[in-house]
Amino acid sequence: MPRPAQTFPDIQSFIHLLEQRGELLRVREPVSRDLEITEISDRLVKKGGPAVLFENVVGSDYPVVMGLLGTRERMALALGVGDLDELARKIRALIDLGGGGSKLGLLSNLPKLRDAMNLPPRHVKTAPAQEVVWRGDEVDLSKIPVLKCWPGDGGPFVTFPLVITKDPETGERNMGMYRMQVMSKNTTGMHWQRHKTGTRHLEKAKRLGQKLEVAVAIGGDPALIYAATAPIPPVPGLDEFAVAGYLRGQRYPVVRGLTVNLDVPANAEFVLEGYVDPAEDWVVEGPFGDHTGFYTLPDLYPLFHVTCVTMRRNPVYPATIVGRPPMEDAYLIEASERLFLPAAQLIIPEIVDYHMPPAGVAHNLVVVSIKKDFPGQAYKVANGLLGLGQMMFAKVIVVVDENVKVNDMDAVWREVTQKAVPGRDTLTTRGPIDVLDHSSRGWGYGSKLIIDATTKRPEEIGSPKSSREEQAQDYALDVFFPDPVAPTPLQGGLGGDELPHFEGILAQRQTADGYWVVVLDKTRPGQARALAEAFARHPAADGVRHLLICDEQTDVNDMGDVWWTVLNNIDPERDVWNLDGLLAWDGARKLASEGFVRDWPNKLVMSEAVRRRVDALWHVWGLPEQYR
């Protein structure tokens, strides 16, 4: 597919194009920013529906747009490519500044060098983002249609903020996307997590005894919104404005803030200017319905003081909703996969491809395919990945052969049952964990599981043979289990009535490819372990490789829901057990009586009252029936 010629100077031009393409709906009837907008948007994104512009938001003069990046195709369109795989090809071409030393070869690099010239931002003196200004007592964040997304949220949250700070010592600029809970007419929380650059800037400001200036842009162009989420490596001169400039094929326009010494996007819809005072006590922020699909529980975070708001004359407020996958953030994650694949291959050259599936909500699951040449290479690659930037947060890494499509999860999990013997081909280790992970043994610290689902060399299965080239024909006979993989001769696996019973089981089934899924209402300590040990000894476990124990809200017939639950709810070293060749995963909720010392959060579920109200008003809002 050819690359689209059009780039987008701002969000509103992107909205206009989506509408021309039939990929944007307008809702002109009144709609509430309190749960209604997010319930509508959640339904649309989960069914691959269009973006939606809410023109009449109750209590605000400004429209809200949702789902701009809510499909793979719209994400590619936003970044100026025909397909997200083009991002990898583009970056690979930039990295490969070859030429062989000849004049003709060097001249072939000129187009790449022109692309690189788009990295530095371009300063302008006037900007649409500063057409209207609120200062002092004029600042009132309640006038901006900030959304309450889930029933248990602690308040309204800005969900697409581009938070800009500068290192107080070096002047290095950073932009990140950190949710912001509105606390008052002129303050918000600032969700700077332990490992984020904004946190380091604040810590330096504290040591220097000064306030940290902050600017928050809302809007810009789609490439900048993406760039704020990208795991950019710490390369001098490479920041989010540079990435956006490279992607859009032209230097990004910035303007100096009116009350802060920070560059802000000239094409933003809104800009909030102010400061965070490191001498102030932190405030309670949350709960928040997070990208994990669970609530993040209340915690202490810094307070952002908004001293000035600038905006366009007729701004649009862009927002997103996160929660149970698939959601819009899945396509932002996929764009990062494609963009940073060449860099990962530069460091770990045997990588063929990798994927972070929606069920893994970014960090919980990484699938990587490799060109394997020697025994132990799967562990070499997995440990290498754990040392690459934000990949350090990965919880489960599955390594497969080069011919396996990493985004075909059915194929991946079949490879796991066929080529990974529990214990022999699984390995746990420890390291940093995303601070939003609710199941880890400690805040930001836990364990990881590596599964080697590659074709085995003789040394990896305990064979006396060697994998030298002349013996390559021999080891291929030893890669599979001597016993059958299929759990039962019944096509499609066994259902609950044909399987053994145990205390607390609400539903269960076996799949034809070796997985036994159990939904458990856990009420006492050790219940999941006792179930796993009993089932491991039962004849129904013959041929089963994995026992997946889920919480009581899991759909046993939806493997995406099963894996999403299990991956969220485990600390692998504590909760994944090898029971004589059966790998049991305890993905049920953890109890205080089991020694789990933190509160356990709830899964995100919209209130029934809101669901009924949205159902009743669906046609009033003019929304298509197929997305209801």
- Residue partners of 16: CB distance under 8 A and separation at least 6: none
Q: How big is the CA angle at 319 (ends 315 and 320), to the nearest 5 degrees?
A: 165
Backbone φ and ψ for 406, nearest 5 degrees, come out as -70, -20
CA–centroid distance for 44 within its chain: 19
Contact 51, 23 (CB under 8 A): yes
Contact 127, 257 (CB under 8 A): no
As to burial, measured by CB atoms within 10 angstroms (0-12 exposed, 13-18 middle, 19+ buried), residue 571 is buried
Distances from the Cα of 147 to the Cα of 31, 141, 291, 417, 546, angstroms: 11, 12, 16, 43, 41
Question: Among 587, 498, 499, 484, which Cα is nearest to 543's?
Answer: 484
* Cα–Cα distance, 231 to 118 (Å, whole number): 19
* Cα–Cα distance, 302 to 279 (Å, whole number): 10
At 389 the three-state DSSP class reads helix
Greatest Cα-to-Cα distance within the chain, rounded to the nearest angstrom: 80
* Cα–Cα distance, 488 to 491 (Å, whole number): 8
Q: Is 425 a catalytic residue?
A: no
Active site residue: 263, 290, 353, 434, which one? 290
Tally of CA atoms within 13 A in the half-sphere of 369 that contains its CB: 15
Question: What token pair was written down for 171?
Answer: 């002047």
At 434 the three-state DSSP class reads coil
Task: Please list the alpha-helical segments (H only) found in 386-511.
Answer: 409-419, 472-475
The residue count of the chain comes to: 628
Question: Among 543, 372, 348, which Cα is nearest to 454's?
Answer: 372
Tally of CA atoms within 13 A in the half-sphere of 498 that contains its CB: 15
Tally of CA atoms within 13 A in the half-sphere of 85 that contains its CB: 5
Residues with a catalytic annotation lie at: 290
